[in-house]
Amino acid sequence: MRPCPHYLLQTPELRLALRDPRTRLVSIRTWDEFLGRTSGYSYIPARGEIPGAVWGHAGDNDDMHSVSSFQRPDGRMRPAAEIAALWAEAGVQPTDPTIFYCGTGWRASVAFFYAWVMGWDHIRVYDGGWLAWSSDPANPVELRSRTAAPDGVPSPAA
Protein backbone atom coordinates (compact mmCIF):
# COMPACT_ATOMS: atom_id res chain seq x y z
CA MET A 1 0.00 0.00 0.00
CA ARG A 2 1.30 3.44 -0.90
CA PRO A 3 1.37 6.07 1.84
CA CYS A 4 -1.22 8.81 1.21
CA PRO A 5 -2.33 7.26 -2.09
CA HIS A 6 -4.71 10.16 -2.71
CA TYR A 7 -1.64 12.36 -3.32
CA LEU A 8 0.20 10.08 -5.77
CA LEU A 9 -0.69 9.17 -9.33
CA GLN A 10 0.66 6.52 -11.64
CA THR A 11 0.39 6.71 -15.43
CA PRO A 12 -3.10 5.19 -15.82
CA GLU A 13 -4.45 7.56 -13.14
CA LEU A 14 -2.78 10.53 -14.82
CA ARG A 15 -4.40 9.67 -18.16
CA LEU A 16 -7.81 9.70 -16.44
CA ALA A 17 -7.12 12.94 -14.54
CA LEU A 18 -6.12 14.74 -17.73
CA ARG A 19 -9.59 14.17 -19.17
CA ASP A 20 -10.86 16.82 -16.75
CA PRO A 21 -10.33 20.23 -18.40
CA ARG A 22 -9.98 21.87 -14.98
CA THR A 23 -6.90 19.81 -14.15
CA ARG A 24 -3.58 21.64 -14.36
CA LEU A 25 -0.53 19.51 -15.11
CA VAL A 26 2.50 21.46 -13.92
CA SER A 27 5.99 20.59 -15.14
CA ILE A 28 8.59 21.26 -12.46
CA ARG A 29 11.55 21.03 -14.80
CA THR A 30 14.09 23.40 -16.27
CA TRP A 31 13.13 25.60 -19.19
CA ASP A 32 15.31 23.51 -21.53
CA GLU A 33 13.62 20.32 -20.32
CA PHE A 34 10.21 21.92 -20.83
CA LEU A 35 11.06 22.93 -24.41
CA GLY A 36 12.46 19.49 -25.18
CA ARG A 37 16.02 20.70 -25.75
CA THR A 38 17.19 18.09 -23.25
CA SER A 39 15.67 15.34 -21.16
CA GLY A 40 17.68 16.57 -18.20
CA TYR A 41 18.96 13.07 -17.37
CA SER A 42 21.72 10.95 -18.87
CA TYR A 43 19.54 7.85 -18.53
CA ILE A 44 16.36 9.28 -20.10
CA PRO A 45 16.78 9.53 -23.87
CA ALA A 46 13.36 11.00 -24.67
CA ARG A 47 12.89 14.75 -24.73
CA GLY A 48 9.67 16.75 -24.50
CA GLU A 49 6.69 17.15 -22.23
CA ILE A 50 3.36 15.57 -21.51
CA PRO A 51 0.83 17.34 -23.77
CA GLY A 52 -1.06 20.07 -21.98
CA ALA A 53 1.56 20.61 -19.29
CA VAL A 54 2.38 24.15 -18.23
CA TRP A 55 5.79 25.25 -17.00
CA GLY A 56 5.86 25.57 -13.23
CA HIS A 57 9.57 26.45 -12.95
CA ALA A 58 12.25 24.52 -11.14
CA GLY A 59 15.71 25.98 -10.90
CA ASP A 60 18.68 27.05 -12.88
CA ASN A 61 18.22 26.37 -16.58
CA ASP A 62 21.09 23.93 -16.88
CA ASP A 63 20.73 22.22 -13.50
CA MET A 64 18.13 19.52 -13.09
CA HIS A 65 19.32 19.17 -9.48
CA SER A 66 17.91 22.56 -8.51
CA VAL A 67 14.61 23.91 -7.27
CA SER A 68 16.03 27.38 -6.74
CA SER A 69 12.93 29.00 -8.23
CA PHE A 70 11.17 28.14 -4.98
CA GLN A 71 13.97 28.80 -2.53
CA ARG A 72 15.98 31.65 -1.12
CA PRO A 73 19.76 31.44 -1.54
CA ASP A 74 20.05 29.90 1.93
CA GLY A 75 17.65 27.07 0.96
CA ARG A 76 14.61 28.32 2.85
CA MET A 77 11.29 28.48 1.04
CA ARG A 78 10.60 31.72 -0.82
CA PRO A 79 7.52 33.61 0.36
CA ALA A 80 4.35 31.75 -0.61
CA ALA A 81 3.02 34.72 -2.57
CA GLU A 82 6.09 34.67 -4.83
CA ILE A 83 5.73 30.97 -5.57
CA ALA A 84 1.98 31.33 -6.17
CA ALA A 85 2.73 34.20 -8.58
CA LEU A 86 5.08 31.96 -10.61
CA TRP A 87 2.33 29.38 -10.94
CA ALA A 88 -0.36 32.00 -11.62
CA GLU A 89 1.69 33.17 -14.62
CA ALA A 90 1.13 29.69 -16.04
CA GLY A 91 -2.59 29.84 -15.28
CA VAL A 92 -2.45 27.66 -12.16
CA GLN A 93 -4.54 28.78 -9.19
CA PRO A 94 -4.82 27.32 -5.66
CA THR A 95 -8.36 26.09 -6.35
CA ASP A 96 -7.38 24.13 -9.47
CA PRO A 97 -6.93 20.37 -9.37
CA THR A 98 -3.14 20.45 -9.78
CA ILE A 99 -0.72 17.66 -10.61
CA PHE A 100 2.99 18.33 -10.29
CA TYR A 101 5.59 16.26 -12.10
CA CYS A 102 9.25 16.44 -13.09
CA GLY A 103 11.75 13.97 -14.49
CA THR A 104 11.70 11.38 -11.73
CA GLY A 105 9.62 12.82 -8.89
CA TRP A 106 11.81 14.67 -6.41
CA ARG A 107 11.40 18.22 -7.81
CA ALA A 108 7.65 17.67 -8.16
CA SER A 109 7.59 16.55 -4.53
CA VAL A 110 9.25 19.79 -3.44
CA ALA A 111 6.66 21.82 -5.38
CA PHE A 112 3.89 19.65 -3.93
CA PHE A 113 5.18 20.18 -0.39
CA TYR A 114 5.34 23.94 -0.84
CA ALA A 115 1.81 23.99 -2.27
CA TRP A 116 0.66 21.87 0.67
CA VAL A 117 2.32 24.26 3.14
CA MET A 118 0.63 27.14 1.30
CA GLY A 119 -2.77 25.51 1.92
CA TRP A 120 -3.51 24.26 -1.58
CA ASP A 121 -6.07 21.45 -1.23
CA HIS A 122 -6.33 19.84 -4.68
CA ILE A 123 -2.73 18.81 -5.31
CA ARG A 124 -1.10 15.58 -6.38
CA VAL A 125 2.21 14.27 -7.70
CA TYR A 126 2.71 12.16 -10.81
CA ASP A 127 5.44 10.14 -9.16
CA GLY A 128 6.82 8.43 -12.26
CA GLY A 129 7.27 11.76 -14.00
CA TRP A 130 8.86 12.17 -17.40
CA LEU A 131 10.77 8.90 -16.97
CA ALA A 132 7.59 6.82 -16.67
CA TRP A 133 5.61 8.80 -19.24
CA SER A 134 8.30 8.77 -21.93
CA SER A 135 9.04 5.06 -21.37
CA ASP A 136 5.65 4.10 -22.83
CA PRO A 137 5.61 4.63 -26.62
CA ALA A 138 1.80 4.79 -26.50
CA ASN A 139 1.98 8.09 -24.58
CA PRO A 140 1.95 11.27 -26.65
CA VAL A 141 4.87 13.68 -26.35
CA GLU A 142 4.89 17.39 -27.03
CA LEU A 143 7.95 19.32 -28.20
CA ARG A 144 7.64 23.06 -27.76
CA SER A 145 8.78 25.49 -30.45
CA ARG A 146 9.03 28.53 -28.21
CA THR A 147 12.57 29.89 -28.05
CA ALA A 148 12.15 32.97 -25.88
CA ALA A 149 12.52 32.24 -22.21
CA PRO A 150 10.25 33.86 -19.62
CA ASP A 151 11.61 36.78 -17.63
CA GLY A 152 14.45 35.81 -15.36
CA VAL A 153 15.34 32.60 -17.21
CA PRO A 154 18.53 32.56 -19.24
CA SER A 155 17.82 31.58 -22.82
CA PRO A 156 20.78 29.78 -24.38
CA ALA A 157 21.33 30.18 -28.08
CA ALA A 158 19.04 27.82 -29.94
Give the span between the Cα atoms of 90 and 118, in whole angstroms: 18
Q: Is 60 exposed, middle or buried (0-12, 13-18, 19+ CB in 10 A)?
A: middle
Q: Which DSSP string do the residues of 95-149 spell out, in sequence order?
A: TS-EEEE-SSSHHHHHHHHHHHHTT--SEEEETTHHHHHHH-TTS--B-----SP
Active-site residue flag, 102: yes
Number of C-beta neighbours around residue 155 at 10 A: 14
**Active-site residue identified among 28, 102, 123, 131:** 102
Catalytic residues: 102
